Structures are given as C-alpha cells and as structure tokens.
Amino acid sequence: MREIVFDTETTGFSFKDGDRMVEIGCVELINKVETGRTFHAYFHPERTMPAEAQRIHGLSDVFLSDKPLFHAQVEALLEFLGDAPLVAHNASFDFGFLNGELTRCGRGAIDLARMVDTIVLARARHPGAKHSLDALCSRYGIDRSHRIVHGALLDAQLLSQVYVELSGGRQIGLGLVTEIIEVQQSFQPDAAPVQARPARVFSASEAELARHAAFIAKLTNPIWGTVQGGNEASG
C-alpha cells in the first residue's frame, strides 16, 4: 500500500485570511516502509512573511524571493502524490493550505477521504498524553536533535517514523521482511533477486549426541540421579 506523509510551512494560520503555503515536504511509504523517494519544494508566497511565522520556520522574504510560485510546481507535486492516502499531523491545517493553493491555481481540491491525521491516531493510542510531533518523537525514541526550526521535509521524515509506530511499530505483520525485499527490488529493477537464507538446523547430530552420552557416563552421582532416586523412594 502506497502512502504519502507530508508537512507544510506557511505564512500564518489561515489560507482564507490571506496566508500562503511557502514549503511542502513529502515522504513516500509502501507498506509502512520508507522507499527513499521524497518531494520537496519552496514557494514564493506573493506577500511578506510575518515575523512570528519566520521565527517558527526560519524562511525569510529574502530566502523566498527567487522561489517559484506554487502553480509552477503543481504538476510535479500532483504526480508525486498520485492517488495515495495523505498522512499529516493536524492534517486539517495542511489540507486547508494544500487545497487552498490547488483551488487558487484552478486545480481540483484533494478529497478529504484521503486524509490520515496522526493527531487523531495519537489521541486514540495515548489518551491524555502530549501529542505534539516533538512529544511523540520523545515517546518513541526518534532522534530529533537536528530539528532546530520547523522544516517541511524534515518534519515529514520524522512524522513518517512516528506514523509507523502509531500504526503498530516496525513489525507491522509477519510478512514485513518479504514486503521490504519486494519494495527494495521494485526501486532497483536491475539488481539481482534477493535470495532468502535457508532455514538453520539447530538439532544435535548423531555424533554430538554420542559425545554428550559419553560425557554424562563419566559423571559421578549426578544431581538429577539423586533427585530421581529420592522421588522413587518417596513414592
């Protein structure tokens, strides 16, 4: 199953009030395994960046001044998203900006039925706990030491690990190893097929059993003989 974990950075809290999306980062998962494929882009917001928003993500007017407008990247973005479910943290916020930008450039909005909200999953799995991305990374032992400011691709990469944990952890099912091999091969079409190792034999050989019997025969008054004799006497 193909899924896309994504995050956005914006100029504020509401597209309807004139805020715009300035960055998007997407990570591809297949069967809850990262494939290594990502999509990342910055956009010129066609407005100034409020100081409070810049403090969160560090994206300034100067940095964004030469970045393309959203409509210049929309084809590549939609191709990457495909028809996969879209996973985000507080997903209604990210969907609001993504669909706002799509509608603004004449594209259809993404169906909200494709939305997967990791905050909803976290609240169900850990009721009463903190559900921020930082808190969930701490809970699951995910390294976020390089997260100095918010960044869409970095946050999507962290969220993809959190999402896997919220979905049941690394061992989603008994077929996980086979699925990983299939995913790796699908993105390395020229690679040689991966051969599974033959099952290991752990039973003792006849020679090992003979050596063990010879060793036991040399023991004087073994403790198990004493216990057995005591049980027979008491019986």
Binding-site entries: 7, 9, 52, 57, 155
Query: Cα(150)–Cα(192) distance, rounded to whole angstroms?
Result: 40
Angle made by CA atoms 26, 95, 136, in degrees to the nearest 5: 65
Q: Which helix (H) or strand (E) holds 5?
A: strand 2-10
Query: Cα(84)–Cα(160) distance, rounded to whole angstroms?
Result: 14
216 three-class SS: helix
Pairing relationship of beta strands 21-30 and 33-42 according to DSSP bridges: antiparallel
Active site residue 150: yes
Catalytic hit among 40, 131, 146, 150: 150
Q: Using an 8 Å Cβ cutoff, are 5 and 89 in contact?
A: no
CA atoms within 13 A on the CB side of 14: 3
Place of tokens 């940095």: 63
Would you give the end-to-end CA distance of the chain in angstroms?
A: 63
Could you give the C-alpha distances from 62 to 40, 47, 57, 70, 227, in angstroms and in order?
Answer: 19, 12, 14, 17, 85
Q: What is the DSSP letter of 107?
A: P
Place of tokens 């930008």: 101
Query: Cα(181)–Cα(31) distance, rounded to whole angstroms?
Result: 11
Q: Give me the active site residues, please.
A: 150
